[in-house]
Amino acid sequence: MNDADFEVLATAAYKGERVAARRLAARSQVSEAQALHQVLTQVAGVRGLAPLLAERGALRLRDHELRSAKLAEKARQLEQRAARMRPATDGWRGWFDGSAHPNPGQIGIGALLCGPDGERVEISRRAGYGNSGEAEYLALTALLEAAVSLGAAGLVVHGDSQVVVNDVNLSAQAVAAGRGAKGLEEHRQRVLELMAPLGAVNLRWVPRHRNGDADRLSQQAIDRSPGDSSDN
Protein backbone atom coordinates (compact mmCIF):
# COMPACT_ATOMS: atom_id res chain seq x y z
CA MET A 1 0.00 0.00 0.00
CA ASN A 2 1.50 3.35 -1.07
CA ASP A 3 1.29 6.72 0.65
CA ALA A 4 -1.57 7.89 -1.59
CA ASP A 5 -3.70 4.88 -0.63
CA PHE A 6 -2.98 5.48 3.06
CA GLU A 7 -3.95 9.15 2.70
CA VAL A 8 -7.31 8.14 1.23
CA LEU A 9 -7.96 5.76 4.12
CA ALA A 10 -6.74 8.24 6.74
CA THR A 11 -8.98 10.98 5.34
CA ALA A 12 -12.02 8.71 5.40
CA ALA A 13 -11.39 7.25 8.84
CA TYR A 14 -12.96 8.68 11.96
CA LYS A 15 -10.84 9.47 15.00
CA GLY A 16 -11.83 6.32 16.83
CA GLU A 17 -10.95 4.21 13.81
CA ARG A 18 -7.52 5.82 13.55
CA VAL A 19 -6.92 5.08 17.23
CA ALA A 20 -8.03 1.46 16.76
CA ALA A 21 -5.69 1.11 13.77
CA ARG A 22 -2.69 2.38 15.71
CA ARG A 23 -3.42 -0.06 18.51
CA LEU A 24 -3.81 -2.89 16.02
CA ALA A 25 -0.54 -1.99 14.33
CA ALA A 26 1.30 -1.99 17.66
CA ARG A 27 -0.26 -5.26 18.70
CA SER A 28 0.04 -7.16 15.40
CA GLN A 29 3.36 -5.81 14.12
CA VAL A 30 1.81 -4.54 10.86
CA SER A 31 2.06 -1.07 9.36
CA GLU A 32 -0.46 1.56 10.38
CA ALA A 33 -1.69 1.67 6.79
CA GLN A 34 -2.36 -2.07 6.79
CA ALA A 35 -4.02 -1.86 10.18
CA LEU A 36 -6.25 0.99 9.06
CA HIS A 37 -7.21 -0.95 5.95
CA GLN A 38 -8.25 -3.88 8.16
CA VAL A 39 -10.25 -1.67 10.53
CA LEU A 40 -12.15 0.08 7.73
CA THR A 41 -12.77 -3.18 5.90
CA GLN A 42 -14.30 -4.57 9.07
CA VAL A 43 -16.44 -1.43 9.48
CA ALA A 44 -17.61 -1.65 5.84
CA GLY A 45 -18.74 -5.22 6.28
CA VAL A 46 -20.39 -7.02 3.40
CA ARG A 47 -20.93 -3.91 1.31
CA GLY A 48 -17.21 -3.52 0.82
CA LEU A 49 -14.59 -0.85 1.45
CA ALA A 50 -15.07 1.12 -1.79
CA PRO A 51 -18.70 2.09 -1.11
CA LEU A 52 -17.74 3.13 2.44
CA LEU A 53 -14.98 5.38 1.14
CA ALA A 54 -17.32 6.87 -1.47
CA GLU A 55 -20.02 7.54 1.12
CA ARG A 56 -17.63 9.25 3.48
CA GLY A 57 -16.16 11.28 0.65
CA ALA A 58 -19.65 12.55 -0.18
CA LEU A 59 -20.26 13.41 3.49
CA ARG A 60 -16.99 15.35 3.65
CA LEU A 61 -17.92 17.26 0.54
CA ARG A 62 -21.35 18.11 1.94
CA ASP A 63 -19.85 19.24 5.24
CA HIS A 64 -17.33 21.40 3.38
CA GLU A 65 -20.09 23.00 1.32
CA LEU A 66 -22.15 23.68 4.45
CA ARG A 67 -19.16 25.26 6.22
CA SER A 68 -18.39 27.36 3.17
CA ALA A 69 -22.01 28.51 2.96
CA LYS A 70 -21.99 29.47 6.66
CA LEU A 71 -18.74 31.38 6.27
CA ALA A 72 -20.08 33.18 3.21
CA GLU A 73 -23.28 34.12 5.07
CA LYS A 74 -21.28 35.35 8.06
CA ALA A 75 -19.10 37.44 5.76
CA ARG A 76 -22.21 38.90 4.10
CA GLN A 77 -23.71 39.82 7.47
CA LEU A 78 -20.45 41.42 8.61
CA GLU A 79 -20.28 43.46 5.41
CA GLN A 80 -23.87 44.60 5.85
CA ARG A 81 -23.10 45.61 9.42
CA ALA A 82 -19.97 47.45 8.31
CA ALA A 83 -21.99 49.26 5.64
CA ARG A 84 -24.53 50.35 8.25
CA MET A 85 -21.75 51.58 10.52
CA ARG A 86 -19.86 53.35 7.74
CA PRO A 87 -20.50 57.08 7.81
CA ALA A 88 -22.15 58.60 4.78
CA THR A 89 -19.90 60.66 2.54
CA ASP A 90 -22.66 62.98 1.41
CA GLY A 91 -26.04 64.12 2.66
CA TRP A 92 -26.88 65.20 6.20
CA ARG A 93 -25.30 63.42 9.17
CA GLY A 94 -26.01 63.74 12.86
CA TRP A 95 -24.70 62.49 16.19
CA PHE A 96 -26.39 62.75 19.59
CA ASP A 97 -25.59 61.95 23.20
CA GLY A 98 -27.22 62.64 26.55
CA SER A 99 -25.86 62.44 30.07
CA ALA A 100 -27.48 62.44 33.51
CA HIS A 101 -25.27 63.29 36.51
CA PRO A 102 -25.96 61.37 38.68
CA ASN A 103 -28.49 58.96 37.16
CA PRO A 104 -31.13 60.26 37.57
CA GLY A 105 -29.80 63.79 37.88
CA GLN A 106 -28.97 66.93 35.93
CA ILE A 107 -29.25 66.29 32.18
CA GLY A 108 -26.78 67.55 29.64
CA ILE A 109 -27.42 67.01 25.94
CA GLY A 110 -25.04 67.21 23.03
CA ALA A 111 -25.62 66.89 19.30
CA LEU A 112 -23.78 67.60 16.08
CA LEU A 113 -25.48 68.12 12.71
CA CYS A 114 -23.40 68.32 9.53
CA GLY A 115 -24.65 69.11 6.04
CA PRO A 116 -23.38 68.26 2.54
CA ASP A 117 -22.36 71.87 1.88
CA GLY A 118 -20.30 72.30 5.03
CA GLU A 119 -23.15 73.18 7.38
CA ARG A 120 -22.31 72.46 11.01
CA VAL A 121 -24.60 72.89 13.99
CA GLU A 122 -23.43 72.06 17.51
CA ILE A 123 -25.91 71.70 20.37
CA SER A 124 -24.73 71.70 23.96
CA ARG A 125 -27.10 72.60 26.77
CA ARG A 126 -28.65 71.53 30.01
CA ALA A 127 -32.09 69.99 29.75
CA GLY A 128 -33.51 69.69 33.23
CA TYR A 129 -33.57 66.65 35.48
CA GLY A 130 -34.07 63.01 34.53
CA ASN A 131 -32.49 59.63 33.84
CA SER A 132 -30.06 58.55 31.15
CA GLY A 133 -32.78 57.29 28.80
CA GLU A 134 -34.57 60.62 28.94
CA ALA A 135 -31.26 62.42 28.41
CA GLU A 136 -30.52 60.44 25.26
CA TYR A 137 -34.02 61.02 23.91
CA LEU A 138 -33.82 64.77 24.62
CA ALA A 139 -30.51 64.96 22.77
CA LEU A 140 -32.00 63.16 19.77
CA THR A 141 -35.05 65.45 19.90
CA ALA A 142 -32.86 68.57 19.86
CA LEU A 143 -30.90 67.21 16.91
CA LEU A 144 -34.07 66.47 14.94
CA GLU A 145 -35.54 69.88 15.72
CA ALA A 146 -32.42 71.46 14.22
CA ALA A 147 -32.66 69.13 11.23
CA VAL A 148 -36.30 70.10 10.62
CA SER A 149 -35.47 73.79 10.77
CA LEU A 150 -32.76 73.28 8.13
CA GLY A 151 -34.75 70.89 5.96
CA ALA A 152 -32.12 68.17 6.39
CA ALA A 153 -33.63 65.47 4.19
CA GLY A 154 -31.94 62.09 3.83
CA LEU A 155 -30.51 62.32 7.34
CA VAL A 156 -28.31 59.60 8.88
CA VAL A 157 -28.23 59.84 12.69
CA HIS A 158 -25.76 58.09 14.98
CA GLY A 159 -26.11 57.48 18.71
CA ASP A 160 -24.46 55.20 21.26
CA SER A 161 -27.65 54.47 23.21
CA GLN A 162 -28.92 51.06 22.15
CA VAL A 163 -32.05 51.64 24.23
CA VAL A 164 -33.06 54.74 22.27
CA VAL A 165 -31.90 53.55 18.84
CA ASN A 166 -33.68 50.22 19.21
CA ASP A 167 -36.78 51.91 20.66
CA VAL A 168 -37.13 54.36 17.77
CA ASN A 169 -36.48 51.62 15.20
CA LEU A 170 -39.22 49.37 16.59
CA SER A 171 -41.97 48.51 14.15
CA ALA A 172 -45.45 49.87 14.75
CA GLN A 173 -46.58 46.30 15.52
CA ALA A 174 -43.88 45.92 18.18
CA VAL A 175 -44.85 49.21 19.79
CA ALA A 176 -48.51 48.19 19.77
CA ALA A 177 -47.52 44.93 21.45
CA GLY A 178 -45.93 46.90 24.29
CA ARG A 179 -42.31 46.10 23.47
CA GLY A 180 -41.14 49.71 23.61
CA ALA A 181 -38.95 51.23 26.32
CA LYS A 182 -41.09 51.82 29.41
CA GLY A 183 -41.46 55.40 30.58
CA LEU A 184 -40.11 56.85 27.33
CA GLU A 185 -43.27 56.61 25.23
CA GLU A 186 -43.82 60.38 24.96
CA HIS A 187 -40.22 60.93 23.90
CA ARG A 188 -40.52 58.26 21.21
CA GLN A 189 -43.71 59.85 19.90
CA ARG A 190 -42.06 63.27 19.72
CA VAL A 191 -39.07 61.86 17.84
CA LEU A 192 -41.31 60.07 15.34
CA GLU A 193 -43.25 63.29 14.76
CA LEU A 194 -40.01 65.15 14.02
CA MET A 195 -38.74 62.41 11.71
CA ALA A 196 -41.90 62.40 9.59
CA PRO A 197 -41.26 65.64 7.60
CA LEU A 198 -37.60 64.67 7.06
CA GLY A 199 -38.45 61.63 4.99
CA ALA A 200 -36.25 58.58 5.40
CA VAL A 201 -34.18 59.09 8.55
CA ASN A 202 -31.63 56.33 9.12
CA LEU A 203 -30.97 55.92 12.84
CA ARG A 204 -27.85 53.85 13.59
CA TRP A 205 -26.17 52.65 16.77
CA VAL A 206 -22.43 53.32 17.10
CA PRO A 207 -20.07 52.44 19.97
CA ARG A 208 -19.26 55.25 22.38
CA HIS A 209 -15.75 55.80 21.03
CA ARG A 210 -17.27 56.67 17.65
CA ASN A 211 -19.60 59.24 19.17
CA GLY A 212 -16.95 61.48 20.65
CA ASP A 213 -18.16 64.89 19.45
CA ALA A 214 -21.68 64.42 20.79
CA ASP A 215 -20.34 63.03 24.06
CA ARG A 216 -18.02 66.02 24.41
CA LEU A 217 -20.88 68.44 23.84
CA SER A 218 -23.11 66.71 26.40
CA GLN A 219 -20.34 66.79 29.00
CA GLN A 220 -19.71 70.46 28.28
CA ALA A 221 -23.37 71.12 28.97
CA ILE A 222 -23.08 69.52 32.41
CA ASP A 223 -19.95 71.53 33.17
CA ARG A 224 -21.53 74.78 32.05
CA SER A 225 -23.06 77.02 34.69
CA PRO A 226 -26.80 76.46 35.22
CA GLY A 227 -27.74 79.85 33.79
CA ASP A 228 -25.97 79.27 30.48
CA SER A 229 -28.00 76.93 28.26
CA SER A 230 -27.20 78.38 24.85
CA ASP A 231 -26.20 76.20 21.93
CA ASN A 232 -22.77 76.55 20.37
CATH code of the domain containing 112: 3.30.420.10
Does residue 61 form part of some domain? yes
Q: Kindly state whether residues 109 and 47 are assigned to the same domain.
A: no
For residues 39 and 106, membership in a common domain is answered with no
Co-location of 215 and 104 in the same domain: yes
What is the rounded average pLDDT of the residues 67-75? Answer: 91
Domain end position, chosen among 28, 62, 85? 85
Residues 117 and 186 in one domain: yes
Shared domain for 12 and 115, answered yes or no, is no
* pLDDT-derived band at 139, boundaries 50, 70, 90: very high
pLDDT digits (tens, 9 = 90+) for 211-228: 999 999 999 998 876 655
Same domain, 125 and 173: yes
Residue 228 lies in a domain: no
pLDDT band at 41 (very low <50, low <70, confident <90, very high): very high
Position 227 scores a pLDDT of 57
Structural domain boundaries enclosing 172: 93-223
pLDDT tens-place string over residues 82-122: 665 555 556 899 999 999 999 999 999 999 999 999 999 99
41, 67, 85 - which closes a domain: 85
Judge whether 137 and 100 are in contact, CB under 8 Å: no
Mean pLDDT of 199-218: 94
Q: Are residues 53 and 109 in the same domain?
A: no
Q: Is residue 120 part of a domain?
A: yes
What is residue 172's predicted lDDT score, i.e. its pLDDT? 76
Residue 30, φ and ψ in degrees, nearest 5: -115, 165
Q: 142: number of CA atoms within 13 Å, CB side?
A: 29
Distance CA 161, CA 102 (A): 17
What pLDDT does 225 receive? Answer: 60
CA distances, 131 to each of 126, 142, 208, 213 (Å):
13, 17, 18, 21
Residue 69: partners with Cβ closer than 8 Å, 6 or more residues away? none
Is the per-residue pLDDT at 42 higher than 60? yes
Q: What pLDDT is attached to residue 71?
A: 92
In a shared domain, residues 70 and 142: no
**End-of-domain residue from the set 85, 114, 131:** 85
Question: What's the whole-model pTM score?
Answer: 0.62
